[in-house]
Amino acid sequence: MVKRFVPKIYFDKDRCVKCGECAGICPEGAIEMAEYPEVDDSKCIRCYACYEVCEYNAVKIKQKALPL
């Protein structure tokens, strides 16, 4: 099966201090603060503003395989 890979944002809960900076900077409103931040993948445009803003290195990017 052919797959394509898309970057996916996730959060390292061991590093996250729940400050909400990532949710505040996201231009698409794709991050919601529950106990920890959560991303709505359907809204995320992969701009990585959240990744850049997090001082705690808690925002991570992984390559997720999607079937075509």
Among 53, 51, 54, CA closest to 62: 51
Residue (1 or 50) nearer to ligand SF4, CB? 50
Residue of the chain from 8, 10, 18, 38 that contacts ligand SF4 (CB under 6 A): 18
Within 13 Å of residue 58, how many CA atoms lie on the same side as its CB? 19
Quote the DSSP letter at residue 26.
Answer: -
Residue (2 or 66) nearer to ligand SF4, CB? 66
Q: Give me the residues that bind ligand SF4 (CB under 6 A), please.
A: 9, 11, 16-22, 26, 28, 30-31, 37, 39, 44-50, 53-54, 56, 58-59
